[in-house]
């Protein structure tokens, strides 16, 4: 049986395990910070399964690893409305090409299969429940035009 949703606490545990695995590859190349709004009940809050990991994976593989020097990845989770979370994944690495900034609807597959599949899955879940969501790409460091920040505004209630 496949789960449609998972507690935010379990999702973060899976993400931390994934990061430990990746740390064996990239070592000290990146420092990862996870910051969760203390007002969020991570045990009761439900989100779609494996929602955050593909965006963190992209930050590592396309932002941090090709970057000359050490980088940082910040994962921030905040409650923006009663039934929504804002999840941002930002890195101080290479930064996505200019044409990829803005609404994430341009991700059709190419090199970003994980992101495209995640967006399709989120779109299907939200369309069925008539719940809006958005995923938006910007520069993490606007001043220096570097890094990438992906911000997701996602529903947190059980989606059936």
Instruction: Find tokens 């007002």 and name the residue.
Output: 39
- Number of neighbours of residue 74 by Cβ within 10 angstroms: 18
76's CB contacts (< 8 A; 6+ apart) are 35, 36, 86, 87, 88, 90
Tokens of 51: 């929602």
Please give the biggest Cα pair distance in the chain. 47
Q: What is the pTM of this model?
A: 0.84
144's CB contacts (< 8 A; 6+ apart) are none
For 5-22, what is the mean pLDDT?
91
CA triple 154-147-26, angle to 5 deg? 95
What does pLDDT average to over the chain? 80
**Predicted local distance difference test score (pLDDT) of residue 74:** 94
C-alpha to C-alpha distance for 68 and 12, rounded to whole angstroms:
28
For 100-119, what is the mean pLDDT?
67
């Amino acid at each position: 049986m496949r789960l449609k949703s998972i507690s935010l606490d379990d999702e973060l545990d899976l993400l931390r395990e994934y990061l430990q695995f990746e740390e064996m590859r990239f070592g000290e190349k990146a420092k990862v910070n996870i910051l969760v709004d203390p007002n969020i009940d991570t045990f009761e809050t439900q989100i779609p399964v494996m929602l955050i990991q593909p965006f963190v994976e992209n930050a590592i593989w396309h932002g941090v690893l090709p970057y000359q020097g050490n980088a940082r990845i910040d994962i921030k989770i905040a409650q923006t409305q009663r039934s929504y979370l804002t999840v941002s994944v930002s890195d101080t690495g290479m930064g996505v090409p200019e044409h990829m900034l803005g609404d994430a609807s341009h991700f059709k597959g190419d090199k970003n299969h994980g992101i495209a599949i995640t967006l399709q899955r989120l779109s299907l879940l939200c369309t069925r429940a008539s719940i809006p969501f958005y995923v938006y790409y910007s520069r993490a460091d606007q001043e220096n035009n570097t890094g990438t920040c992906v911000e997701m505004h996602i529903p947190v209630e059980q989606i059936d």
